Amino acid sequence: MATGVAAWLPFARAAAIGWMPVANCSMPVAPGDNSRKQDELIVLNVSGRRFQTWRTTLDRHPDTLLGSSEKDFFYNEDTKEYFFDRDPDAFRSILNFYRTGKLHYPRQECISAYDEELTFFGIIPEIIGDCCYEEYKDRKRENLERLQDDQEDNKDLKLPHMNFRETMWRAFENPHTSTMALVFYYVTGFFIAISVITNVVETVPCGSTANQKDMPCGERFTVAFFCMDTACVMIFTVEYLMRLFAAPSRYRFMRSVMSIIDVVAILPYYIGLVMTNNEDVSGAFVTLRVFRVFRIFKFSRHSQGLRILGYTLKSCASELGFLLFSLTMAIIIFATVMFYAEKGSSSTKFTSIPASFWYTIVTMTTLGYGDMVPKTIAGKIFGSICSLSGVLVIALPVPVIVSNFSRIYHQNQRADKRRAQKKSRMARIRIAKSSSANAFLHSKRNGLIDELLELTGTEEDEQKLTKSRSLLASQHHHLLHCLEKTTAHEFVEEHVYEQNCLETALQGYPSRSPSASSRDSSAGSCCGRRAKRNLPLPSASTPPHAHPIATHHQGRLQELSAIHIQCGDRPSHAASRSSLNLKTNDGGRINCKSGRITTAIISLPTPPALTPDGDGLHGPGLRRPPPPPGPPAAPTVQTTASSAGANIIKVSSL
Amino acid sequence: MKAKNRDQSLSDSRELDGSYDQLTDSVEDDFELSTVCHRPESMDKLQEQTKFTKKELQVLYRGFKNECPCGVVNEENFKTIYSQFFPQGDSSMYAHFLFEAFDTNKNGSVSFEDFVFGLSIILRGTVNDRLNWAFNLYDLNKDGCITKEEMLDIMRSIYDMMGKYTYPTMQDDAPREHVESFFQKMDRNKDGVVTIEEFIESCKKDENIMQSMQLFENVI
């Protein structure tokens, strides 16, 4: 429960008046407010600065230092105040947490100092309010990174033993992990550079030799260049095959861009090897050499910047497309105009509209080669308009692209951050909700154990187990308990609910056998009646007495009793004892046997008078052999149940 | 002189104000979030009108003002506050009915007086008072009798508070069955509605209900 609204608990309890007339059973007894003392002011002396607040304000959070009895350790008898030797500035936010229910993080505080204060006062940082949570998390992360940087020297490879393939893949992806990987990385880089330079130098004229004309170096030193090429391609092939071997998902690796570049880089060589025999296609072979230039793209594995550039181009594709489209429009318009303007003049270079495209592009990008110039006056006018508009058309989308790029870049960063925070924030909210729900179920369980010990255990055991639960929490749980009684359903945890669903699905059909007799039962056996209809019995055909309970519980007694323990109510003894004496009719008994498996388990060794109360009786006798039944009706039950014989014994021995 | 309506005067002021840019400004009005601040009557008067002591009123008001600094609760706040006590289910419908019951002057907000009057009846009133108040809660249209539909709405809202994870699993017709049994118990003359007399009479006869009413003795 959000203890910020603890002050409204009396209202919530008063609002429960709406449930009373519709409830068919009686409500559990409310927890007594033993401490009838008045609300008093508490003085908290934090390093000399005195804070004062009501005791009830601090009691709102009983699981913290100030809300629990832990603060008694700091009580100063002489001055009648609680003294803490801590930072008074940080204490302000902590005390405000009690007052308002929201924990704020003051920005001028150091993150580690603040964390220490929170830990000292027993407050978990996750409940920091949404307004300050992002700031807190950012500072915390920065701090963590700083600590990690300090420790990075110590951080050695203490990874689990990976197999050879995984090690290799890791070496390929992160060259800094081992020296071998680093060597490999540099060697491949070197050879890429060599290969690219070779391709370039190949075409440089090497100076004249005995032959007449200048030959490019490639033709002069064919063998040398061929050897160099072979060596590079060898290295590349080996590298590609090794990557292919080490890749965790070969199919995905083969589809990736980098591997395609690798393939395209080495393929021309092999094709060339195959095709040297065939003279006809040697022309095509020459053009294949062009693809060798793709080797330069292999550098993108070595350069982070290239990869980022590639990604941003991909992400700005729409803007680039728009730029291209608008340019094309302008080019077509102006080319058409220039063509028709220059049509008149003789020996004009503007032979067709496509021929005018070249002029338009050169003019619009303000290149102005001068190989095509308009000669007519109209042509010159339109030509100047073209060059002026060219500046505009090109200048306009470029800043858009640039700003787009920067926006996308920052957005990406922010989106990731926000997504990470959203997940953790949702998780926090879910945890808070489930913890408050589970608190109730926990207390029910503890109440169950209390019940057992009260019956069979000693006083010390009981006291040991009874935690000092705050009055607030017990009142809240009483409220939830009343709601359970009103609706005749119980709160369960999610996984138990799933378990039940699974079981009912396995059972198949719901049973209605005991339903008939239960209809006439009095209002007192409300809970049993309602519950019965919802719970299918596997052995619906067997007569409704002791048998079905024992039989269908054979295999699953363990888990059913486990389920029961989880769902057990926190019974109020007074209520159960009184209702014990109320009902004795058999109709009610049948009722609840089918309805509440738990009572069924209990009912066998205990008198039938107990059974009709679906709500009255849960704890006793479940975990240990129940005490010998007091009421005299006990023997009758034993006899009727004796037909189940061994089954009952099994049940009771549970 | 004709009184200009607010929009007209607004647009006039905008035109005069040179800083108003037609293109970029939205047509939203100025911030009219008049935070209604409500102060309750004096403690002495409240003490006369309710059955709480001064100390109890102090505690109640401190809690009230903490959650609603402006002095009144509107329905949204009310629902939020109430839902924090029932984390597993959906308590909004029941909170709505409660709000209707507390808001006696039907002005859409519950002030501290409404709050304390209601609590005084529930926590410090006689059994008759309490039953009256409960009847008032159930009677949604305040016509003096509870019909099956009204009761069904109330019942459904109560069952909604349980949420999904219950044992046994919540069936869809559970509220309806409960309503049937309720009417069976309460409706004496079987005319399909429960009047206030029938309600009080039947409740007084039911031991469970009487016993539950004692619970409210020591809530505060």
ipTM of predicted complex: 0.75
Q: Reply yes or no on whether the pLDDT at A510 is more than 60.
A: no
pLDDT digits (tens, 9 = 90+) for A218-262: 777 888 888 988 999 999 999 999 999 888 888 988 898 888 888
Q: Reply yes or no on whether the pLDDT at A383 is more than 90.
A: yes
Tokens of A459: 């006083």
Q: Reply yes or no on whether the pLDDT at A94 is more than 50.
A: yes
Q: Which of the residue ranges A187-201, A312-326, A367-381 would you say has the lowest mean pLDDT? A: A312-326
The sign of the CA dihedral A598, A602, A603, A608 is: negative
Contacts of A483 in chain B (CB under 8 A): 86, 158, 161-162
Higher pLDDT, A268 or A401: A268
Across the interface, do A18 and B94 touch by the CB < 8 Å criterion?
A: yes
Backbone angles phi, psi at A179, to 5 degrees: -65, -35
Across the interface, do A437 and B118 touch by the CB < 8 Å criterion?
A: no
At residue A231, the pLDDT reads: 92
Q: Reply yes or no on whether the pLDDT at A519 is more than 50.
A: no
DSSP, residue by residue, A83-108: EE-S-HHHHHHHHHHHHHS-B---TT
CB atoms within 10 A of CB A146: 10
Q: Which of the residue ranges A17-31, A300-314, A321-335, A603-617 would you say has the lowest mean pLDDT? A: A603-617
The distance of B32 to chain A (nearest Cα, Å) reads: 24
- Mutation target among A475, A487, A511, A577 for the B interface, most CBs of B within 10 A: A487
Question: HSE (CB half, 13 Å, CA atoms) of A389?
Answer: 15
Percentage above 90 pLDDT, chain A: 13
At residue B86, the pLDDT reads: 87
Tokens 């048998």 -> residue: A547
The distance of A140 to chain B (nearest Cα, Å) reads: 30
At residue A494, the pLDDT reads: 77
B89/A400 Cα distance (integer angstroms): 50
Query: Helix %, strand %, coil % for chain B, to 5?
Result: 55, 5, 35
Name the stretches of chain B with pLDDT < 70: 1-37
Across the interface, do A22 and B154 touch by the CB < 8 Å criterion?
A: yes
DSSP, residue by residue, A156-215: ---PPPPPHHHHHHHHHH-GGG-HHHHHHHHHHHHHHHHHHHHHHHTTSB----SSSS--
At residue B96, the pLDDT reads: 92
**pLDDT classification of A317: cutoffs 50, 70, 90:** confident
Contacts of A493 in chain B (CB under 8 A): 165
Tokens of B195: 């009047």
* Contact of A13 with B219, CB cutoff 8 Å: yes
Q: Is B61 on the interface with A (CB under 8 A)?
A: no
Q: Which of the residue ranges A125-134, A168-177, A432-441 would you say has the lowest mean pLDDT? A: A432-441
Q: At what angle do helices B127-138 and B148-160 cross, to 10 degrees?
A: 100
Omega of the bond leading into B168 within 30 degrees of 0 (cis): yes
Across the interface, do A30 and B219 touch by the CB < 8 Å criterion?
A: yes
Contacts of B214 in chain A (CB under 8 A): none
**pLDDT classification of A382: cutoffs 50, 70, 90:** very high
Cα A555 to chain centroid, rounded: 38
**pLDDT classification of A509: cutoffs 50, 70, 90:** low
At residue A376, the pLDDT reads: 92
Q: What is the average pLDDT value for chain A, to the nearest integer?
A: 71
To the nearest 10°, report the CA torsion of A94, A99, A100, A102: 20
- A vs B, Cβ pairs < 8 A, gives 186
At residue A593, the pLDDT reads: 39
Which residues face A42 on adjacent strands? Answer: A53
pTM passes above 0.80: no
Cα A415 to chain centroid, rounded: 15
Best-predicted range by mean pLDDT (A289-303, A371-385, A413-427, A538-552):
A371-385
Best-predicted range by mean pLDDT (A299-313, A540-554, A616-630, B170-184):
B170-184
**pLDDT classification of A460: cutoffs 50, 70, 90:** low
pLDDT digits (tens, 9 = 90+) for A579-588: 334 444 443 3
CB contacts under 8 A, B 17-36 vs A, are: none
At residue A276, the pLDDT reads: 67
Task: Choose among B98, B115, B168: nearest Cβ to A531.
Answer: B168
pLDDT digits (tens, 9 = 90+) for A150-195: 565 444 445 566 788 888 888 888 777 788 888 988 999 999 999 8
**What is the chain A residue with the closest CA to B199?**
A21
* Contact of A461 with A453, CB cutoff 8 Å: yes
